[in-house]
Structure 1
Amino acid sequence: MTTETAREDGLLAGLARFCHRRRRLVLLLWIAGVLAVAFAGFGFGAASDNDFSGSGSESAKAQKLIERHFPEQQGDTLTLAVKADRGIDDPAVRRKIEKVVATLDASPVTGPVVSPYRNPALVTKDRRIARTTIPLTSQNVKASEVRPLVTAVKDASGGGVAFGLGGDMAQKAETPGQGPGEAVGVLAAAVILFIAFGSLVAMGLPIVTALMAIVGGIALMKLVGYVFPAPDFTVVVSALIGLGVGIDYALFIVTRYKEALRDGDAPEAATVKAVTTAGHAVLFAGTTVVIALLGLVAMGQRLMTGVAIAASVTVLVTMVAAVTLLPAFLGFAGHRINSLRLPRRTSRADRHDPARPSRTRRTRRTPAERWAALVQRRPWVAAVLAGTGLLVLAAPTLSMRLSLPDASVQPHDRSSYASYRILSEGFGPGYGAPFVFAAPVASKDADLRPIVQAVAGTDGIASVTPPQISADGRAAVFMAFPKTGYQDEATPRLVHELRDDVLPNVPGGEDVHLGGPNAVTIDFSDAVSARLPYMIAIVLALSLVLLVALVRSVTIALQAAVMNLLSIGAAYGVLVAIVQWGWLGTALGFPTSMPVTSWVPMMMFPILFGLSMDYEVFLISRVREEYVRTGETRTAVARGLARTAKVITAAAGIMIAVFTTSLLGPDVAVKQIGLGMSVAVLVDATIVRLVLVPAVMELCGKANWWMPGRRTNPQAAPSPKEPAAV
């Protein structure tokens, strides 16, 4: 029994036949299932969790102590900042400021607001800049309830008086939705598919399949959030991943289906062949992406585990849709898959499609085959140039700094940025990055003066507040304001100095925990930097095992791992150059240079490694098929590249289009991950697949197919039937 016959009698073949024959039932079940899950997920799904403090970090210990002994200090706050050119004591200015304070005080979501005129500590010495803190009445206040306050504050600015309303809720309230990014991505994908297929019907099937899968996957993800909470960026990132892989997976299957029809198969047989070949590779590729995503669990971060599970759910749903929903759609389409074609003159290349069986393939080589031959003539030159280029692109990674975005890196027309700018000018750049010290004490008479004086005397500290003892006399807190801002490189160094050198050398200082939002960001970034190598090692090991099982070659699996690391490293380097160094940053929508968001490189690696393995699977499967047919590595690589060039280029184009549209959105962190993934896919589909793969495989020769315990190379006599491959 041949491999192809065995596959056509397997589970996938049976599933494909069932979905094709029972296409109306399958479609109705999918529609009903997606609607039900969407109703439950979008209506009653779990809320986002953005607490990155972890469980064992110093900042988390400080937060737990404050929550336990200072319950009155819980809840979000807003900060009103005011700058008056004529000073806040000018009568007209004072009326305007008191009117804004009264508006904030009258809101049902705010607690009592203290006017800066009642507390001299809230005003600078020159009386030009003032501030006040506005407590929110509940931790469940929604951004939509704060939005009118942001609008009122922004509208009050003018006439020589500038207002800004800061705080996390204010920042969320004025941040618009992701916008048309996903819609633009779908439109771009449609154009690429139309060009690739030349048919509106063939174009529409991958898009409809992917969209239905994404809706169901994201809704299901929200329900899973009750067990595995995830931060708010998870939905956008999962939508980007799901849209990209969903369209790509459907693209591979539809391409194989069209090839089978051209070979003379009936629609049902073509569907079975597409699912048992391309669908088989889709399941493997999707499993690789899921395993890579689950590598995030190795980071030991509760929220990152939630992100891993949520994104994996979305990918799993797209995989299931590719091998169930898409075969049903193919059943409806039948031979009409090429209907509503793009008007164009049939070219000689079209008449001699390299995807046709060997008996109809023309003698003249395709452009992809000629390119592969060019690389193979000078493999050392091609490999060295491509490898050097990737290393140069990756070099900036060595200077990568990690942080989480704050008001200072937001668009400059935001009220939260205005608040940051005014407060930095009047009270120093560290006012928005306070350190919160919390310590257990024995009684209300505890003397923390030595600790406070040691912190105040540390170089880099601007000011320190008096300690405050809790009502139960069991804990104390005080704050220190650094001279540097939230994103400054000196701020993390100061935190480590206080923890490692200052507090341990003061009596009782070993019991003091340094926390606050700034410290949370620093602790999270340090944890990412420390555990990222472990995640990379785990993802590499698991992916290598899967790839060896599929291609049955240790050499090719190792090649794939190294090349994927190079392409991801290049993406990291470009991201650092644009985001952190500011090269072309403004042109790409970044308001200012900033550190790379802490979770971005951690999230990028498993996603990109999984996607790179997708392309590796689709390319190497064809190369191995040709090698089994001919026994000649050079010919196999050239033909495998020719047979996959069009579909991999289209798939990469779709990924790049989808990921790049994140630059249209307002979230600087999502912009970063979209940019990084776009660069990685571009590098992988060009430098890696078109240069490194043919060059390295040419250099390795028969060693490409080395497998422990196998005495002979995987050769077989040519068969008139096309072997099962992607």
Structure 2
Amino acid sequence: MMTETPREDGVLAGLARFCYRRRRLVLLAWIVGVLAVAVGGFGFGAASDNDFSGGSSGSAKAQALIERHFPEQQGDTLTLAIRADRGIDDPAARQRIEKVVSTLDASPVTGPVTSPYKDPSLVTRDRRIARTTIPLTSQNVKTSEVLTLVRAVRDASGGAVTLGLAGEQAQKAEAPKQGPGEAVGVVAAAVILFIAFGSLVAMGLPIVTALMAIVGGIALMKLVGYIFPAPDFTVIVCALIGLGVGIDYALFIVTRYKDALRDGDDPEAATVKAITTAGHAVLFAGTTVVIALLGLFAMGQKLMTGVGVAASVTVLVTMVAAVTLLPAFLGFTGYRINSLRLPRRGPRGEGGGAGATRRTPAERWAGAMQRRPVIAAVLAGTGLLVLAAPALSMRLSMADASVQPHDRGSYVAYQILSEGFGPGYNAPFVFATPIASRDADLRPVIDAVGRTEGIAYATPPQISKDGQAALFMAFPKTDFQNKATPDVVHRLRDDVLPKVAGGKDVQVGGPNAVVIDFSDAVGARLPLMIAVVLGLSLVLLVALVRSVTIAIQAAVMNLLSIGAAFGVLTAIVQWGWLGKALGFPTTMPVTSWVPMMMFPILFGLSMDYEVFLVSRIREDYVRTGDTRASVATGLASTAKVITAAAAIMISVFMTSVFGPDIQVKQIGLGMAIAVLVDATIVRLVLVPAVMELFGKANWWMPFRRNPTPVPPRVEEPAGV
């Protein structure tokens, strides 16, 4: 990446010297600081907020009415689903069912439980399937207490009786912990670094630096959560991002340090050179990612703003660690950076002779792309568009019980309830409206809703205790994930309710409507966020590379690689291609927050790789005036470090596939695909081909007298 000519009296140089000479103090400060923040963050940090409602949507207005006038209905509930092959009245089945109901009723965390034998409305006509609701006594019931209930229900199943416990709390309780995914990513990164550096010491520095930064960043994120609340998946997402960028940033600096030592600098001078060159690049890289992440403010979603701020905090801490903690570590290692080496043959082309002029594979590849630039650009662009095509059919939703692994109780309950009471039983709409008196006649509204295409049936109204509001429920004929379900909500709001007397004041809410409104808002505001991120990043990139043409090329190529990632993700998650092999139990829409979270992260990371490559090309072009040779030289100079950095990113992001959270799997998989596409098709094919086609126009900058001024010196890790 492009940096200023190293200045021995600059701010970064002074910081590097201080951290090198006062390395014990710096290390102690980091250890104490991380421990203090960890105690505060992990011990007293803000709780997660998973409420995606809010704003001015219809579901938000319905929720506000319910909270104001029906406070008694604000507690969480579970639903016991029962299927008895010989009917629930079979003596053996009845004994088993009544025992489970008694166990649930006796729990200290549940309210009164109505037996299905006492309420005929809880049983299907054939008496094979039944249900009952279990109210929880508190909004803050511990997951372990709910898990006890889940296990009791699961253990009671057997023979001709199948039982399952449904509800958000039950689904959360039985989900396994995230597991060793991040550890697998760290091991994979260690292997890549060891192969790249050939030294255990050099391998360890980026990993230790990144891990300390991640602990501090996530803990600080939890404290920031009091101001910007974020959902529970934020920790995992921040860990993935922090590991990826943290190790990559340290990789750039350690590589530059090793190059400086090889050029004859002593350890202190090498540290200063590494921080004033690669360290400066790291600050730009991190700033680009942070700017992109803060683009989530444009979505107008409280929780997504929280995710953006949390991830930005993590990236900021990794930046600070790279330019302060890492120089201290370099002070401790000194010349021992190459200790515990991996035996390897000497590099080709060194030492003179014919081998010294032999072109590297990267240069030969760039030459091949430049000889047929139109064909290369068309084939690469067409390939990316083909990969992106499935994104045109992308649907957005949130994971529910229907997409969970089929051995979980929540999925068993979903299947039972769908079979007995219809697929829409798991996706009810809750209608709320203010009323003038208890005598208000809501029958025209309820009848109109019940006759609406796609609605199975509607329930009688319930009047609030203060007599100022009423609510009723309606159940769609389709389930939570069916693409027809959102159409029913829009039909009710746009056509049915406005045309019936009193219907204009009726709001459609409930968990299903909340997800539909959130997904609609994401789809509507995503273009705005893309425009904001594009605009800010282009301004920054033009200022750094001093070329409007290259900045626009970078933006277009980044959009292509991200579009390809969206398309492949849609094909896997929504269409089911390789879905089961990658841990997705069934097809489902893409999680609503995944595309808007992926875009700023990937745009920031892709822009980093772009500048890293193009700045090296530009330096050589200003020196030689030969675009073709400069592209080949730049590609050869940066290929190894980009490959290593991308491999680390892919390894870290792919660890989410080993985890249990289906939604986190999606974002990790999508980001891994995008980085792979960016580091291969874009950097190896599109960039050399497109720059060859543009020629001198690559360096166009308006209002500049000299079209090719001598640029700031570019000091990059020349080889890993």
Question: Does structure 2 conserve the Cα–Cα contact (< 8 Å) formed by 1:281 and 1:617?
Answer: no
**Paired letter, 1:265:** D
CA distance in 2, matches of 1:535, 1:576: 20
Aligned residue among 422, 425, 428 for 1:431 = 425
Which of residues 604, 608, 614 is equivalent to 2:598?
A: 604
| Match of residue 292 from structure 2 | 292
| Change in CA separation of 1:350 and 1:102 when aligned onto 2, cut-off 3 Å | farther
Q: Secondary structure at the match of 2:32?
A: helix
Matches within 5 A, 1:465-614: 465-614=459-608
| Aligned residue in 1 for 2:660 | 666
Match of 1:196 in 2: 196
Tell me whether 1:20 sits opposite 2:14 in the alignment: no
Q: Which residue of structure 2 aligns with residue 162 of structure 1?
A: 162
Q: 1:351 to 1:491 in 2, by over 3 A?
A: farther
1: distance between equivalents of 2:217 and 2:554? 29
Q: Which letter maps to 2:32?
A: A
Contact 2:349 2:357 in 1 (8 A): no
Residue 351 to residue 282, structure 1, CA distance change in 2 (3 Å): farther
Identify if the C-alpha distance between structure 1 residues 465 and 376 changes in structure 2 by more than 3 Å, giving closer, same or farther: same
* 1:627–1:715 CA contact under 8 A, matched in 2: no
After alignment, is 361-370 or 663-672 more displaced? 361-370
Q: Which residue of 1 aligns with 2:86?
A: 86
Residue matched to 1:382: 376
Residues 615-652 of structure 1, C-alpha deviations (whole Å, 9 max, x = no match): 11211221122123222211111111111100000000
Per the TM alignment, residue 10 of structure 1 is displaced from its structure 2 partner at its CA by 1.2
CA distance in 2, matches of 1:550, 1:23: 32
Match of 1:225 in 2: 225
Distance verdict in 2 for CA 1:723–1:229, change over 3 Å:
closer
Letter in 1 for 2:220: L
Residue ranges of structure 1 left out of the alignment (5+ in a row): 353-358
Which whole-Å CA distance do the structure 1 matches of 2:173 and 2:351 have between them? 57
Distance in 2 between the 1:179 and 1:204 partners? 23
For 1:628 and 1:211, the matched residues in 2 are separated by 39
Q: Deviations over 1:338-375 (max 9, x none)?
A: 100112233425768xxxxxx99932211111111111
Contact 1:150 1:170 in 2 (8 A): yes
Structure-2 residue corresponding to 1:366: 360
Q: Does the 8 Å contact 1:621/1:725 carry over to 2?
A: no
Within the candidate set 405, 410, 417, 1:411 is matched to 405
Once the two structures are superposed, residues 104-157 of structure 1 have per-residue CA deviations (whole angstroms, 9 ceiling, x without a partner) of: 111111111000111000000000000000000011112121001001111111
Aligned ranges 1:67-216 → 2 under 5 Å: 67-216=67-216
| Aligned residues of 1:661 and 1:674 also touching (Cα < 8 A) | yes
Which amino acid in structure 2 is aligned with residue 572 of structure 1? Answer: F
SS of equivalent to 1:324: helix
Equivalenced residue count is 715
Aligned with 1:131: secondary structure? strand
Partners in 1 of 2:689 and 2:512 — Cα distance?
48
Q: Is the CA contact (8 Å cut-off) linking 2:240 and 2:652 kept in structure 1?
A: yes
The residue matched to 2:431 in structure 1 has which SS?
strand
Hey, what's the Cα distance between the residues in 1 that align with 2:508 and 2:125? Answer: 29
Pick one of 670, 673, 677 that aligns with 2:671: 677
Return the offset for 1:4. Answer: 6.0
SS at match of 1:332: helix
Q: Summarize the Cα distance change of 1:287–1:469 in structure 2 as closer, same or farther, 3 Å threshold.
A: same
Distance change in 2, residues 1:252/1:360 (3 Å): farther
Amino acid in the other structure paired with 1:390: L
Q: Give secondary structure in 2 for the equivalent of 1:52.
A: coil
Q: Given that residues 45 and 223 in structure 2 are in contact (C-alpha distance below 8 angstroms), is that contact kept between their aligned partners in structure 1?
A: yes
TM score, norm. by length of structure 2: 0.98
Amino acid of the structure 2 residue aligned with 1:672: Q
How far does residue 714 in structure 1 lie from its aligned partner after superposition? 2.6
- Write the deviation string for residues 202-232 of structure 1: whole angstroms up to 9, x where unpaired: 1000000000000000000000000000001
- What code does the residue aligned with 1:613 have? M
Range 615-624 or range 297-306, more displaced: 615-624
Counterpart in the other structure of 2:614:
620
Q: Relative to structure 1, is the Cα distance of residues 723 and 684 closer, same or farther in structure 2, using a 3 angstrom cutoff?
A: closer
CA gap of 1:48–1:716, structure 2 versus 1, over 3 A, is: closer
Q: For 1:229, what is the secondary structure of its paired residue?
A: coil
Matched, 1:50 2:50: yes
Report the equivalent of 1:336.
336
* Map 1:630-649 → 2, pairs under 5 A: 630-649=624-643
CA–CA distance in 2 between the matches of 1:362 and 1:320?
39
Q: State the alpha-carbon separation in 2 of the partners of residues 31 and 349 from structure 1.
A: 44
* Structure 2 Cα separation of the partners of residues 504 and 271 of structure 1: 70
Deviation at 1:309, TM superposition (A): 0.5
SS in 2 for 1:7: coil
**For residue 355 of structure 1, what is the aligned residue in structure 2?**
none
CA–CA distance in structure 1, aligned partners of residues 294 and 589 of structure 2 = 26
Quote the Cα distance in structure 2 between the aligned partners of 1:34 and 1:361: 49
After superposition, give the CA deviation of every residue in 1:69-100 in whole Å (9 maximum; x if it has no partner).
01111111000000000100011110100110
**Given the superposition, is the C-alpha separation of residues 723 and 580 from structure 1 closer, same or farther in structure 2, using an over 3 Å criterion?**
closer
For residues 501 and 416 of structure 2, the distance between their equivalents in structure 1, rounded to whole angstroms, comes to 38
Distance 1:8 1:395 in 2: 51
In 2, Cα distance between equivalents of 1:350 and 1:426? 75
Q: Check conservation: 2:349, 2:358, Cα contact below 8 A.
A: no
Identity of aligned residues (%): 81
CA distance in 2, matches of 1:327, 1:361: 36
Q: TM-score, normalised by structure 1?
A: 0.97
| Deviation at residue 596 of structure 1 after TM alignment | 0.2
Does the residue aligned with 1:652 lie in a helix, a strand or coil?
helix
- Counterpart residue number, 1:654: 648
- My pick for the range that moved more, 703-712 or 484-493, is 703-712
Of residues 444, 448, 455 in structure 1, which corresponds to 2:442? 448
Amino acid in structure 2 at the alignment position of 1:154: R
1:420 counterpart residue number: 414
Superposed CA offset, 1:285-306 (max 9, x none): 1101000000000000011110
RMSD of aligned alpha carbons: 1.5
Displacement, 1:541? Answer: 0.3
Give the structure 1 partner of residue 241 of structure 2.
Answer: 241
SS of residue in 2 equivalent to 1:438: strand
Contact 1:82 1:164 in 2 (8 A): yes
Separation in 1, partners of 2:269, 2:569: 46
Once residues 9 and 701 of structure 2 are traced to their aligned partners in structure 1, the CA distance between those partners, rounded to angstroms, is 28
- Counterpart-to-counterpart distance in 2, 1:596 and 1:307: 18
Residue type of the alignment partner of 1:694 = P
| Structure 2: distance between partners of 1:157 and 1:393 | 45
Query: Deviation at 1:683?
Result: 0.1
Aligned mates of 1:407, 1:78 — CA distance in 2: 13
Aligned-partner residue type, residue 159 of structure 1: G
User: Residue type of the partner of 2:290?
Assistant: V
1:550-575 Cα shifts (integer Å, max 9, x gaps) = 11111111000000000000000000
User: Could you tell me how far 1:23 is from its partner in structure 2?
Assistant: 0.7
Q: What's the secondary structure of 1:83's corresponding residue? A: strand
Distance 2:349 2:407 in 1: 53
